[in-house]
């Protein structure tokens, strides 16, 4: 014969080795939780506390780097005074950072 017959290989022994892929996938999910999901949730909580603690007269930085002083607050919007007699209205979640008092005077 020119071509030798092909025979099926013997079945591999099943045991702990079959659980290794499942353990690796589980370990990947645990690592992803601690590296990505948990820090994002922590930042979200901190931002929510920042928004709840806003008061009239606070100096803040809004999205886009707009720096201003809060003159009015509502449930959804914040009015910022960005220059003398210049006010803008932004959504409350657009406020990113609460600045220490007196920061605006040192910037101008």
Whose tokens are 């803008």? That residue is 88
In a domain, 90, yes or no: yes
Separation between Cα atoms, residue 94 and residue 98, nearest integer Å: 12
Q: pTM surpassing 0.75? A: no
Do 81 and 33 belong to one domain?
A: no
Do 62 and 43 belong to one domain?
A: no
In a domain, 1, yes or no: no
CATH code for the domain of 90 = 2.30.30.60
In a domain, 26, yes or no: yes
Residue with the larger pLDDT of the pair 58 and 6: 58
What pLDDT does 103 receive? 87
Domain span at 30: 18-52
Q: Is the pLDDT of residue 82 over 80?
A: yes
Indicate the number of domains in the chain.
2
Listed in sequence order, the residues at least 6 apart from 54 whose beta carbon sits closer than 8 Å to its beta carbon are 60, 70, 73, 78, 92, 95, 98
**Other Cβ atoms within 10 Å of 80 Cβ, number:** 23
What pLDDT does 73 receive? 95
Separation between Cα atoms, residue 95 and residue 64, nearest integer Å: 10
Do 59 and 104 belong to one domain?
A: yes
In a domain, 7, yes or no: no
Percent of the chain topping pLDDT 70:
91
Q: What is the pLDDT of residues 44-79, one digit of tens each?
A: 999 999 999 999 999 999 999 999 999 999 999 999
What pLDDT does 9 receive? 76
In a domain, 22, yes or no: yes
């Amino acid at each position: 014969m020119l071509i030798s017959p092909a025979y099926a290989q013997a079945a591999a022994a099943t045991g702990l080795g079959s659980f290794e892929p499942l353990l690796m996938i589980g370990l990947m999910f645990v690592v992803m939780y601690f590296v990505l999901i948990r820090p994002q949730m922590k930042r979200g909580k901190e931002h929510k506390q920042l928004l709840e603690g806003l008061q009239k007269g606070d100096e803040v930085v809004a999205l886009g780097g707009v720096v201003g002083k809060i003159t009015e607050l509502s449930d959804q919007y914040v009015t910022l005074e960005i220059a003398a007699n210049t006010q803008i209205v932004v959504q409350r979640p657009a406020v990113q950072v609460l600045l220490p008092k007196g920061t605006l005077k040192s910037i101008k």
